[in-house]
């Protein structure tokens, strides 16, 4: 582990120096294996946060009943060693090699693989129009807020829209509710543009977003989902 | 072996003869799917076996009329959770395959939403696989694959295709959805056949 960075009170980014890393695609994940002194092991999958050209980083949220995530968020520090396997997955990926509009919808730490796609877009200088809709509980829970806002501020066809579902700071001008069909109708590309869609979050979040997009006339085949359950 | 400084782990290991290597036990029932949850009305639902001279199909009612088996099995997801003693009801795949003439070695299960997964026929026969429509005594929830899913508990759970609508029997193995996206062709949890190359 070459660097650690707190993103929110519950979320941390870990940069990994991985010998012989074969490279990855935006949206893929990797497996982290921890080994205790007596040989006991636990292994979990995490989305890769970094764009392909940027080295390897994961962003991990501490789950209350988790086994690996509390260690990675609270315990691990620069110089520690873990075993890594990957990259894994060939479906929930975006390479930035076409101009089809892209809609990214992330709930909580579901933003992680989507941010890799936004970073990839900037890295390769893609001009594919891309919107990222992020749902977080409070402003303090928004992961990568400054970076995403900076990417959006460049004005080159990347837009980020926030909704805060639990509480909002004074003067908040973004959305203040869970994702619903009306909110999606405001934000999503019109169906005739047949966008590529990536939705990542809890099961409930993903179902709400995907069902809402289907109601807008989206084809189920455009919508790629990644759900996380209790995989602490 | 690389020891992770200060890692102890929670060790919810469970009985070693029931929890395969690299798995941990959960009481929840997490969901993994690649797209939106399909909702097919039961009056439009069919289960069909293709890849034979005379394909055979069942409506929802016809499937319900077939002998119902109740099975209690352990399930193992490639994302590393295992769940013990899950109770399902459904029709044995043996019973369905009885109704077609075939000598195929492989099957490709197909589903609403376009999902597919490949299995050797051997893994679908001999009382090892079901088309399940009830879980825990209740009709199977759409998010868990309802109205019906394949249940092949001795393999990683992605082989237990949700929203299953039929099987295509084949002479040769053809990778399904996850199998073309980095996951193992067979997926035996006891051999940790998770990814390509395992």
Is-contact A132 A187, C-beta < 8 A? Answer: no
Is-contact A184 A176, C-beta < 8 A? Answer: no
Does some domain include residue B109? yes
Name A85's bridge partners: A31
d(CA A228, CA A219): 23
Does some domain include residue B10? no
Give me the total of CB pairs closer than 8 Å, taking one residue from chain A and one from chain B: 109
Comparing CB atoms, the residue among A67, A82, A223 nearest residue B9 is A67
Does some domain include residue B12? no
Domains A3-88 and A102-228 belong to one CATH topology: no
* Domain boundaries of chain A, sorted by first residue: 3-88, 102-228
The candidate with the shortest Cα–Cα distance to B82, out of B154, B150, B141, is: B154
Is-contact A219 A203, C-beta < 8 A? Answer: no
Averaged pLDDT of chain A:
95
Average pLDDT over residues A130-142: 97
pLDDT at A65: 82
CA-based angle A201:A203:A209, to the nearest 5?
70
- Using a CB-CB cut-off of 8 Å, the residues of chain B touching A76 are 4
Neighbours of B64 (CB within 10 A): 12
- Using a CB-CB cut-off of 8 Å, the residues of chain A touching B2 are 35, 81-83
Does some domain include residue B32? no
Does some domain include residue B29? no
CA distances from B18 to B15, B23, B73, B85 (A): 5, 10, 10, 10
Is the pLDDT at B171 greater than 60, yes or no? yes
B87-122 confidence digits (pLDDT tens)? 999 999 999 999 999 999 999 999 999 999 999 999
d(CA A47, CA A53): 16
A42-98 confidence digits (pLDDT tens)? 999 999 999 998 999 999 999 888 899 999 999 999 999 999 999 999 999 999 999
B contact residues 51-110, partner A, Cβ 8 Å cutoff:
79-81
Q: Which domain holds residue B135?
A: 44-191
Is the pLDDT at A148 greater than 80, yes or no? yes
A152-165 confidence digits (pLDDT tens)? 998 789 999 999 99
Per DSSP (E only), the strands in chain B are: 24-25, 46-50, 56-59, 69-76, 81-92, 106-111, 116-120, 130-135, 138-139, 149-151, 164-170
Q: Could you tell me the pLDDT band of residue B30, with boundaries at 50, 70 and 90? A: confident
Name every residue in A having a CB less than 8 A away from some CB of B. 34-37, 39-45, 67, 71, 75-76, 80-83, 85, 88-92, 203, 207, 210-211, 213-214, 220-221, 223-225, 227-231
**Fold designation for A102-228:** Rossmann fold (3.40.50)
How many structural domains is chain B composed of? 1
Residues 6+ apart with CB under 8 A from A77: A1, A4
A192-220 confidence digits (pLDDT tens)? 999 999 999 998 999 999 999 999 999 99
DSSP one-letter code for A211:
H
Is-contact A35 A41, C-beta < 8 A? Answer: yes
- Using a CB-CB cut-off of 8 Å, the residues of chain A touching B31 are 203, 227, 229
Assigned superfamily of A3-88:
Translation factors (2.40.30.10)
pLDDT at A186: 97
Contact yes or no for B182 and A90 at CB 8 A: yes
Q: What is the CATH number of the domain that holds B103?
A: 3.90.420.10
d(CA A154, CA B187): 45
């Amino acid at each position: 582990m070459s660097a650690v960075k707190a993103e929110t009170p519950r979320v941390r980014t870990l940069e990994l120096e991985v010998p012989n890393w074969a490279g990855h695609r935006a949206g893929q994940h990797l497996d982290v294996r921890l080994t205790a002194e007596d040989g006991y092991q636990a292994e979990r999958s995490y989305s890769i946060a970094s764009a392909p050209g940027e080295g390897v980083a994961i962003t991990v949220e501490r789950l209350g009943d988790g086994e690996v995530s509390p260690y990675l968020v609270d315990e691990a520090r620069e110089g520690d060693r873990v075993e890594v396997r990957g990259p894994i997955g060939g479906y929930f990926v975006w390479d930035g090699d076409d101009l089809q509009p892209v809609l990214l919808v992330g709930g909580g730490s579901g933003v992680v693989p989507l941010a890799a796609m936004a970073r990839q877009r900037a890295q390769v200088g893609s001009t594919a129009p891309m919107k990222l809709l992020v749902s977080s509980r409070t402003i303090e829970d928004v992961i990568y807020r400054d970076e995403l806002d900076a990417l959006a501020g460049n004005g080159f066809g990347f837009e980020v829209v926030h909704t805060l579902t639990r509480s909002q700071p004074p003067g908040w001008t973004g959305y203040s509710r869970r994702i619903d069909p009306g909110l999606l109708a405001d934000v999503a590309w019109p169906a005739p543009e047949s966008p590529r869609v990536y939705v990542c979050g809890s099961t409930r979040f993903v179902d709400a977003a995907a069902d809402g997009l289907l109601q807008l006339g989206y084809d189920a085949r455009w919508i790629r989902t990644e759900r996380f359950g209790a995989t602490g | 072996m690389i020891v992770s400084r200060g890692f102890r782990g929670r060790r919810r290991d469970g009985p070693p003869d029931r929890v395969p290597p690299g798995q941990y036990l959960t009481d929840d029932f997490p969901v993994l799917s690649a797209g939106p949850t399909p909702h097919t009305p039961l009056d439009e639902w069919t289960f069909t076996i293709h890849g034979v001279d005379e394909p055979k199909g069942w409506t929802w009612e016809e499937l319900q009329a077939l002998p119902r088996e109740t099975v209690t099995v352990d399930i193992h997801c490639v994302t590393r959770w295992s769940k013990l003693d899950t109770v399902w009801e459904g029709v044995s795949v043996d019973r369905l395959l009885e109704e077609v003439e075939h000598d195929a070695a492989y099957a490709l299960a197909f589903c609403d939403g376009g999902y597919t997964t490949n299995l050797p026929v051997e893994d679908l026969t001999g009382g090892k696989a079901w088309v399940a429509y009830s879980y825990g005594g209740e009709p199977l929830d759409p998010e868990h694959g309802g109205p019906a899913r394949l249940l092949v508990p001795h393999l990683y759970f992605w082989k237990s295709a949700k929203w299953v609508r039929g099987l295509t029997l084949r002479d040769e193995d053809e990778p399904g959805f996850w199998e073309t996206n980095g996951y193992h062709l067979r997926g035996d949890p006891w051999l940790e056949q998770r990814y390509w190359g395992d």
